[in-house]
Structure 1
Amino acid sequence: MNDLIKLIGNDDFYLSVKLSDILQKINNGQNYQWKIMRLEAIMKNNSFYHIVELEEEISNSISGYIMQWEELVELSNQIFQTIEILLVGDKDFKNNLTEEEMRVTYNYYIELIDSSFWEISSNDFLFLEKVKQLD
């Protein structure tokens, strides 16, 4: 059973917790498969990512956009502001799950809603404890 935590950050004007902060708390992320189900972000000025094209690819993918761990970490470091994201990580993805089913099934479920708060679910309780310290 996965636990769910909610992060709202510690600043009144913007969400201070970034995707890169959360990913740093995952041990052995390379041992999992990663899919971005949804993404809307603003990249840093010197970023080499073409975010509009990436967002379109993700939006057009039926079962999520697969990324290797190293690529995902690099992407997170290039993001200036994440507006929306749904990222899942697992060792064996299943097809046609609802978001709620993904949340309780996959090893990692990381969602940012409207730049306002993170909902993070995982069966990795050490990871969740580390993430709680970000808030």
Structure 2
Amino acid sequence: MDDQLALRIQLFREGGQVSPEVADFVTAELAALEAEGRPITEESAGMLTSHLMMALTRLLGGAPIGEFVTDEQVAAELADHPEAVERARRVSGRAHAELGATLPESEINFLALHLAVLAQQPTH
């Protein structure tokens, strides 16, 4: 993880926007991606990081997350990326087990989009 992405997470944590548990969970997920050789930088994973931290924070805070109008379109775009969808489902399962946050299908799809983009980056 590069310094800029680490700073993003630190600012979310220190600013009180996310709980330490959420920040730790997201950091661990990013570390797992990096261990697979994925480039985990501000440029490649900044939006993924923010999206996942805020979605988990909303869920843990009891805020409803509705379905998006674009759900069908997103699902169609993901048809060529079943590995990203599967990984998003595993992240969702871990979020449920570790944090008690259950991501709705629309959030899983958006997470999968981020993961599909990340998977297209050259590995190191």
TM-score (norm 1): 0.21
**RCO higher in structure (CA 8 A, sep ≥6):** 1
